A = this chain, B = another copy of it.
Amino acid sequence: MGLLGEGINEIIATTRNNAAPIGIIVKDGSLRMVLFHGTHTLENIRRDGWVVANIVHDPVIYVKTAFDDLPEDFFCNETYGDLEVQRLKDASAWIAFKTEIERESGEAAIVRLVPVAEEIIDNSIYPVNRGFNSVIEATVHGTRYVMNRDPWLKQLIDHHASLVRKCGGSREREALELLLGYIME
């Protein structure tokens, strides 16, 4: 599976001028994404037939791409044969995929991924940090919470926010403040 592991890999997916946190499901040797209709990622994949998985260790990028557009200068181009793709400039590693829409339901499309190129840029070691992990959790819950204001999601966000404050570094605390700004009522 190259750089990805079994289970769901939470990467930042880049398509043409677009970035969003997405899970890549690795199961029985196949790689897939489930993408909701109406998202830029799915529209761009339909048009261009490619997506790049960016492996990122900056918690601020997870929050920003979950709620907002990234400025153009966060992206750079990579060429593989006649395929030109875009990745995040600051990725620790990236994998470019050709895409194939495998199945569609009313809500979402299942996209099969075929890796065509990958590069490791920075293979620093990242020890487990519950603050970093809690930014990811609070971000996932936050994207749902802004839609439905579910009090259980709010409780989980509060729980993870306190873990970010206790266990995170300054970059995690910055990501948390940004997140709380996006989800505030």
Task: Enumerate chain A interface residues (CB-CB to B < 8 A).
Answer: 3-11, 23, 26, 53, 55, 92-93, 120, 123-133, 136-137, 140, 156, 159, 166-172
Q: Give Cα distance in the complex from A23 to B167, angstroms.
A: 9
Give the dominant DSSP class at A's interface: mixed
Shortest A152–chain B CB gap in Å is 9
- Bound: A53/B125 CA distance, A: 13
Copies of this chain in the oligomer: 2
Least CB distance from A134 to B in Å reads 9
- Determine the residue in chain B with the shortest Cβ distance to A57: B128
**Contact for A128 among B10, B93, B171, CB less than 8 A:** B10
Known: A9-B127, A55-B127. 6 other contacts (CB 8 A): A6-B169, A7-B172, A8-B131, A10-B129, A120-B125, A133-B133
